[in-house]
Structure 1
Amino acid sequence: MDSFNDPEIEESVICKSTQIGGTEGANNMVGYIIEQDPSPTMIVYPTIDLAEWTSKNRLKPMVDLCPKLKERYHEGESKLLELQFDGMFIALSGANSPSSLASKPVRFVIMDELDKFPLSSGKEADPRKLAIERTRTYPTSKKIIKISTPTRKANPIWQEWESADDQRRYYVPCPHCGHHQTFKFKQIKWPKESTAEEAQATAYYECEECKGMIMDSHKQTMIISGKWISERKTGTRKTAFHINAIYSPWLKFGDIAYEFLKSKDFPELLMNFVNSWLAEPWEQTDVKLNSDLVLERQSEYDEGVVPDGTQLITAGVDVQRGYFYYTIRAWGTSMTSWNIAHGQAETWDQIESIMNYPFEDRYGNQYQVNLCAVDSGDRTDEVYEFCVINQEWAVPVKGSSRPLQSRYSMSTIEKVDSKAYGMRLYMVDGGQYKDMIAGRLNRPNGTGSWMVYKGCDRDYAEQICAEEKVIEKKGGIEVEVWRPKSSHAANHYLDSEVYAALAADLLHVRYLQFNNKEQQEQRPKPQPQSNFIKQESSWIQQRGRWLR
């Protein structure tokens, strides 16, 4: 707030963790503008839907509850996305909506969750630039506020932090020695070998100077006595602030330790911890991703054998013009998974037979595919018809042409003349699932790993590694994308595994719980495995492998 009133500061950048009060801070700025410095204002959110939600649930209630703001509010002249006040208006916009970023001259621009903005706004330019252009009418008095949780180093908020003239962090005094320091995750201590629950109960903060134990009871006084200190300053025009979740008055040091221990073994959860709790950008380490690595993930189980600990089985089908690639993957707790079969089929009947095949574990217990995700990008009508006929275990999916905020989104098939009219269609962000697969492939065999069956073939392994992550520039922003390593590289099994992983997400694979010990002890003893390859089915034996 002090920087907002500083005439020498034109841009303020807030790089923050989630739930630390960043949006509320922006709302306070809005309240100040309304009462003390009425001027046209634009607030930009990632989507127009979020802008509408914020107007209804955050800004309007704030105005109603504050008499000074309410007496300046012109309710009869206001709309959901344009609030009118004495001498000013507030336009609420979505970065995904060009019309909402239209030419409204404004003095103040606040951009909330910058890293979630799309790279372009429809056919228009970068929405960040469009918003900033609205301030041209106020060359000497404009204020631009950029707020976001970071994602990657190359993405906007971290680039804004890096390019700031003045970088500030919040320093708090040690209650024992008085040394001022920033809260750092590495200084949170707990006994080695502790479970997440034990760490949550015992964690404390260690002063980096005197090594004194700082307890949760000290934290509030430390924060009240703290101050923003410049760590690098070459000017003041653009000032940036960084703050993480350790400062939150609602979180204990043990809560941070607990979240880390629950996340550390799972790349996608660890990424969220780094971004949303530490307010740091996630940097994928140099991932070793080649066919040798895939073959190193061979388990003790033969092809077609359901591994111990399996709780559900999913499948993915990549549809080509004259044939299909499929994978079948077993899932256990902690996102542990095993490919138990993969191959090619030539007809829909063959796919249906494979998905209804009674797979067995080494005790003779039978399993079938719980859910199969079928690519609808090609032969779309056939896919829809197949999924309608087999809707109890098959769903149509389609790769998204743009990055999604989550791994997948849900839409509805609107082709009126299709039997699938009204059926759910899942759009999948293949890049996010490939990140997950790459991360888990680099985990050794065991809990949380992404494994294959014993004797897995090299062709499958090569296809899983047919793509690599590269940095490309889109709309002036560096983004990481998955691209084929060569123009002729086949990646059908990789796509199939993406679909199988989506199917697992739809079945809430993250929330699988361990079977109790008594149930495991009651399992029958292993019996000699029967020959899994069925000689009587001619199509199963194609290319000399099961289900090929």
Structure 2
Amino acid sequence: MNLSAAQIRATKRHLRAALRGLFRPEPLPMAEWADKHFYMSAESSYSEGKWTSDPYQVPILNMMGNDDIEEFNWEKAARVGYTKAIVIALGYFAEHKQRNQILWQPTDTTAEGFMQQHVNPMIRDVKPVRKLAPWLGKKHSDNKLDYKKFTNYRQIFVLGGTAAANYREKSVDVAIYDELSKFDEDIEGEGSATQLGDMRLEGSSFPKSIRGSTPTRVGECQLTKAAEKADERFKRYLPCPHCDEYQTLEWGGPDVPWGIKWDSPETVLNAYYVCQHNGCVIEQRELKGMDQRGEMRSESGMVTRDGLTFYRNGKQVDPPRTVSVHIWSAYNTRTTWGKIAHKFLQVCKDPIELKGWVNTTKGEPWEEPGERVDSDQLYQRREHYPAQVPQAAVVLVCGVDVQDDRIEASVWAFGGDQRGTESWLIEHRIFVGDPGRWQLWDEFTDWRLSTFEHESGTLLRIAATCIDTGHKTDQVYKYCKKYEGQRVYAVKGGKDPIAPLVGRPSRSNKAKVLLYTLGVTTGKDVIYGRLKINEPGPGYMHFPMAATEDYFKQLTAEELRIKYVNGRATRVYHPIRKRNETLDCCNYALAALDILNPVFPALAARLQPAEETEPEPVPTEAQNYQKQRRARSSGRGRKKGFANSWRN
């Protein structure tokens, strides 16, 4: 069959039209797509024009677009390209990967502004996306202030994150959170933004959650919390142009020999970088070449140069499912190390402005300055006691902390003045074993009932004991119930930071045991305040030579910080070390003393050197009051004094 030229042309035209629906563009990584298609619009850029990815941005963009990575967190400084990156992502996923997306801003107002300033110009100026939006610039049902629908049936939602309703009834493939740290921690009592938003990804073949923000405060920053949970946490490593050793760019600071340095305040704008390996001096102009040879390395040793292929120990491995990256202003070639240092000198004396510099320049959460005690100084002031219990110490109490595999107990002696504020650590004992078995508690009981020799020659027993119920609760309840007559009390920590040291006891528990709720913060205030006293006397805490360095590290394992809750400053003790058992034991011993409420002048009078060595019960204020009443009612002399009236 012979076809004319016109028929051949018509056949080709119809075949092309028929096959056009099957066409798929060549798969491109996100960074390559951006360099090929993305345009920086005048409304949202310092300089309008074609986009070119900086070397450090290439692996970041590609990780954002990598289908194997389901969660991406970016801890960032300001002006390092996150906003542009998520606008690129919107265009890339809508046009190239044909995915439905939703982007949340902290508020409805910022969502509207983002759509007008960034999304609409992107649709207009990025040609492949523009072809999918015939409604651009017109009133149309597919062109709304919070919603765009393209001719390939893909959608973009841009919503505020304050209302729980904005996280419902939408099924998407990509969820993006801009400035996550500024979102409410709990959205109308239904959960966090990422918890609610990522639910919209269920059912997607290629779910993607992208989060980014400049951090806020330590312990409160939602982005930092999310980043800490990631499978791999990446930082940018650059080679020194002189010794070729790879390193992250660090601020350094005045006490660190490497990092950003300057010769004098007058020449701060000419700041340079000092290599942490060999002290090489690196000039600002060398940064771009360093970045071109840079790579991303995780804390566990995973390496990637392009965000697409990942290596460990030189062997290619699968990409991680969740990642985080940290980039701060020192990597940005659009600023200088001199400007970073100059800004630091301007704000370093103002804590409020310094906090903003740490967040927006270093890309790190601000840590409120904490009050802490130096464990080394306490270790250095250990002393030899003249006896197991020194003369000025008049009463022994015990604080007990229960763990899953041991019992730890501290015996403290108090005295020194009429209020008994001076204290001596007598012994810290660890009983290793299962606290769920009575055998370990029997061993503890034998020790608890033992005697300690006082300098006067008197033998003293522990007068009161407080045991924490946080671990092995049922067993602790049984033990305290059994020995309640020996002043063994069950205690638990309360959450109120201004509660008194010991609250009113209650038997509202399944064992009907006398249970005291402690003001833990109040107790730590007392302990840390007294640890700062450097001269023996009221409030001073003495330690024996047997106390170990680890004992003092645990005793000082927390620091006092100011935490802001709903805009209100709250004092909290923040752990700086994992173990703090000796601190807890000290706190429980302080509670035992408070419950006991001994009469210190009477005890001091008793414990003058004498022949009698048999342990005697410790008088309390209530007991002393009853003794005095009986003495007065029987006509026996009141002239014998406070201590003698107790003996009557």
Q: Normalized against structure 1, the TM-score is what? A: 0.51
The aligned counterpart of 1:501 is none
Q: Select between 70-79 and 117-126 the one with higher mean Cα deviation.
A: 117-126
Aligned counterpart in structure 1 of residue 133 of structure 2, from 73, 78, 81: 73
Indicate whether 1:228 and 2:299 are aligned: no
Aligned counterparts, 1:238-249, within 5 A: 238-249=322-333
When residues 74 and 469 of structure 1 are mapped into structure 2, their CA distance, relative to the original with a 3 A threshold, is: farther
Counterpart of 1:52, as a letter, is E
8 Å CA contact retained: 1:172, 1:227: yes
When residues 120 and 216 of structure 1 are mapped into structure 2, their CA distance, relative to the original with a 3 A threshold, is: same
Indicate whether 1:27 and 2:87 are aligned: yes
Alpha-carbon distance, 1:480 to partner: 8.2
8 Å CA contact retained: 2:370, 2:562: no
The aligned counterpart of 1:62 is 122
Counterpart of 1:16, as a letter, is K
Counterpart of 1:135, as a letter, is L
The aligned counterpart of 1:218 is 286
8 Å CA contact retained: 2:563, 2:571: no
Indicate whether 1:118 and 2:184 are aligned: yes
Q: Aligned equivalents of 1:167 and 1:483: distance in 2?
A: 31
Indicate whether 1:261 and 2:333 are aligned: no
Alpha-carbon distance, 1:200 to partner: 3.0
Q: In structure 1, the residue corresponding to 2:279 is in which secondary structure? A: coil
Counterpart of 2:158, as a letter, is L
Q: Aligned equivalents of 1:158 and 1:102: distance in 2?
A: 25
Q: Aligned equivalents of 2:197 and 2:366: distance in 1?
A: 27
Aligned counterparts, 1:260-339, within 5 A: 260-287=344-371
The aligned counterpart of 2:72 is 12
Identical positions, percent: 27
Counterpart of 1:281, as a letter, is P
Counterpart of 2:358, as a letter, is V
Indicate whether 1:153 and 2:218 are aligned: yes
The aligned counterpart of 2:228 is 162
Q: Aligned equivalents of 2:267 and 2:215: distance in 1?
A: 26
Q: In structure 2, the residue corresponding to 1:242 is in which secondary structure? A: strand
The aligned counterpart of 1:454 is none
Q: In structure 2, the residue corresponding to 1:96 is in which secondary structure? A: coil
Q: Select between 149-158 and 267-276 the one with higher mean Cα deviation.
A: 149-158
Aligned counterpart in structure 1 of residue 262 of structure 2, from 187, 190, 204: 190
Q: Aligned equivalents of 1:9 and 1:484: distance in 2?
A: 39
The aligned counterpart of 2:569 is 482
When residues 142 and 233 of structure 1 are mapped into structure 2, their CA distance, relative to the original with a 3 A threshold, is: farther
8 Å CA contact retained: 2:234, 2:323: yes
Q: Aligned equivalents of 1:201 and 1:13: distance in 2?
A: 32
Alpha-carbon distance, 1:210 to partner: 2.6
Indicate whether 1:202 and 2:254 are aligned: no
When residues 179 and 56 of structure 1 are mapped into structure 2, their CA distance, relative to the original with a 3 A threshold, is: same
The structure that has the greater radius of gyration is 2
Q: Select between 17-26 and 74-83 the one with higher mean Cα deviation.
A: 74-83
Indicate whether 1:82 and 2:166 are aligned: no
Alpha-carbon distance, 1:179 to partner: 1.5
Alpha-carbon distance, 1:48 to partner: 1.0
Q: In structure 1, the residue corresponding to 2:349 is in which secondary structure? A: coil
Q: Aligned equivalents of 1:189 and 1:483: distance in 2?
A: 36
Alpha-carbon distance, 1:484 to partner: 8.8
Greater relative CO (CA pairs within 8 A, separation 6+): 1
8 Å CA contact retained: 1:171, 1:181: yes
Per-residue deviation, residues 478-506 of structure 1 (Å, max 9, x unmatched) = x8842499xxxxxxxxxxxxxxxxxxxxx
Q: Aligned equivalents of 1:201 and 1:238: distance in 2?
A: 39
Per-residue deviation, residues 18-41 of structure 1 (Å, max 9, x unmatched) = 111011111111121122111210
Q: Aligned equivalents of 1:97 and 1:38: distance in 2?
A: 28
Q: In structure 2, the residue corresponding to 1:9 is in which secondary structure? A: coil
When residues 22 and 470 of structure 1 are mapped into structure 2, their CA distance, relative to the original with a 3 A threshold, is: same
Alpha-carbon distance, 1:99 to partner: 3.3
Aligned counterpart in structure 2 of residue 141 of structure 1, from 191, 195, 206: 206
Q: In structure 2, the residue corresponding to 1:14 is in which secondary structure? A: strand
Per-residue deviation, residues 150-188 of structure 1 (Å, max 9, x unmatched) = 112222111112111111111112111222111111111
The aligned counterpart of 1:91 is 157
8 Å CA contact retained: 2:71, 2:208: yes
8 Å CA contact retained: 1:96, 1:120: no
8 Å CA contact retained: 1:111, 1:146: yes
Q: In structure 1, the residue corresponding to 2:201 is in which secondary structure? A: coil
When residues 199 and 159 of structure 1 are mapped into structure 2, their CA distance, relative to the original with a 3 A threshold, is: farther
Q: Aligned equivalents of 2:274 and 2:301: distance in 1?
A: 28
Per-residue deviation, residues 27-81 of structure 1 (Å, max 9, x unmatched) = 1111211221112100011111111111111111011111111001253321011
Unaligned runs of 5+ in 1: 289-467, 486-548
Indicate whether 1:101 and 2:167 are aligned: yes
Q: Aligned equivalents of 2:229 and 2:193: distance in 1?
A: 19
8 Å CA contact retained: 2:100, 2:174: yes
Q: Normalized against structure 2, the TM-score is what? A: 0.43
Q: In structure 2, the residue corresponding to 1:232 is in which secondary structure? A: coil
Counterpart of 2:269, as a letter, is A
8 Å CA contact retained: 1:168, 1:242: yes
Counterpart of 1:112, as a letter, is D
When residues 471 and 265 of structure 1 are mapped into structure 2, their CA distance, relative to the original with a 3 A threshold, is: closer
When residues 484 and 148 of structure 1 are mapped into structure 2, their CA distance, relative to the original with a 3 A threshold, is: closer
Between the two proteins, the alignment pairs up a number of residues equal to 296
Unaligned runs of 5+ in 2: 1-60, 253-258, 303-318, 373-559, 573-648
Per-residue deviation, residues 349-384 of structure 1 (Å, max 9, x unmatched) = xxxxxxxxxxxxxxxxxxxxxxxxxxxxxxxxxxxx
Q: Aligned equivalents of 1:213 and 1:484: distance in 2?
A: 43
Q: Aligned equivalents of 1:161 and 1:199: distance in 2?
A: 37
Q: Aligned equivalents of 2:163 and 2:249: distance in 1?
A: 38
Counterpart of 1:232, as a letter, is S
8 Å CA contact retained: 2:269, 2:337: no
Aligned counterparts, 1:435-454, within 5 A: none
8 Å CA contact retained: 1:206, 1:213: yes
8 Å CA contact retained: 1:469, 1:482: no
Q: Aligned equivalents of 1:233 and 1:103: distance in 2?
A: 41
Q: Aligned equivalents of 2:571 and 2:238: distance in 1?
A: 49
Alpha-carbon distance, 1:105 to partner: 0.7
Counterpart of 2:344, as a letter, is F
Q: In structure 2, the residue corresponding to 1:286 is in which secondary structure? A: coil
Counterpart of 1:133, as a letter, is M
Q: In structure 1, the residue corresponding to 2:299 is in which secondary structure? A: strand
Q: Aligned equivalents of 2:186 and 2:224: distance in 1?
A: 19
Q: In structure 1, the residue corresponding to 2:216 is in which secondary structure? A: coil
When residues 91 and 469 of structure 1 are mapped into structure 2, their CA distance, relative to the original with a 3 A threshold, is: same
